[in-house]
Amino acid sequence: MFEELRELMTEQRNPRTMDLDSKSIREILEIINREDERVARAVAEEIPNIERAVEVIVEALGHGGRLIYVGAGTSGRLGVLDAAECPPTFGTSLDMIQGVIAGGYGALVRAQEGAEDRAEEGEAELIARGVGERDIVVGIAASRRTPFVLGALAKARELGARTVYLCSNPSPTADIEADIVIAPLVGPEVIMGSTRMKAATAQKMVLNMLTTTSMVRLGKVYENMMVDLQATSQKLTERSKRVLMIVTGVSYDDAARMLDLAGGSVKTAIIMIKKNLGRSEAEALLREADGFVGKALARAGEMQ
């Protein structure tokens, strides 16, 4: 393991930060910022692979499958975070997008470093979730060698699921067995081996791209607004009203009233207002349009 670790890009010393401990606070901050500027460029280089992954995710979710992130440490926390944010933002079910972290949910708030070394536990997590051929499993590991993640990916392939590997290191010996590899090469960290920095930032950017683009392609967004959000808090309730006001031009009070008539569905309320339809008619149009508001509005226009 020592030899393998020594060869990883993220474990190299960064020549641009060799004298970090002699710098002022301002200089350290500027160095970190300059290194962070490299992250977006590294992610941009991977857009073709991210595109392939999104295509697979959309296909899986569109046919009743699930997106399951698997990671350890910072990588695992980012996967759980992205999964947790999808239900309130895009109205997904709780099981459609899941996050699995080595060491369980306790590892979200307290590091459990040894948990990442147990490949068999990664395998067991997928078995427990009944992963199958309709699902897609995304392994996340900055180092590209985390046993928990590799074990989960191997089991996912055995169970017939599609697989994606998100990492920050090129393979020095052999290719990872995954259908798609996304590897934004951000280079050595500001502090040697601290992959909670640039590598994690790249991972967060990629995860944002995967789920956001997939949700757009699944009809969860109208123009550039979230219209399938769940009004589970005062903020989200008010955002629902504001979206409806922007799209249709109605007043605040009318937006609140129409949302109530639409059962809290922003999508349904948009169709009801713009096409002067009842709730059942608007819902039927949305079903025919596979949930896309734009397509439903066009369909209603053809019928009038």
Residues 243/253, Cβ–Cβ less than 8 Å? no
DSSP of 216-285: HHTT-EETTEE-S----SHHHHHHHHHHHHHHH---HHHHHHHHHHTTT-HHHHHHHHHHT--HHHHHHH
Question: Token pair for residue 100?
Answer: 């699995």
Active site residue 116: yes
Single-letter residue type at 296: A
CA distance 277 to 291: 16
Q: What CA dihedral angle connects 86, 75, 182 and 178, to 10 degrees? A: -100
Using CA atoms, how far apart are residues 223 and 36, in angstroms rounded to an integer? 30
Q: How far, rounded to the nearest angstrom, does the alpha carbon of residue 204 sit from its chain's CA centroid?
A: 8
Separation in Å, CA 115 to CA 102, 107, 222, 273: 5, 9, 41, 53
Cα torsion 113, 115, 117, 122 to 10°: value is: -140
51 is catalytic: no
**The tokens of 138 are what?**
């995304």
- Cβ burial, residue 173 (10 Å; 0-12/13-18/19+): exposed
Catalytic residue among 116, 123, 125, 283: 116
The residue from 7, 11, 55, 85 that is catalytic is 85
Burial of 3 (C-beta count, 10 Å sphere; 0-12/13-18/19+) = exposed
Contact 141, 187 (CB under 8 A): no
Give the alpha-carbon dihedral of 212, 216, 221, 225, to 10 degrees.
Answer: 50
Q: Which residues are catalytic?
A: 85, 116
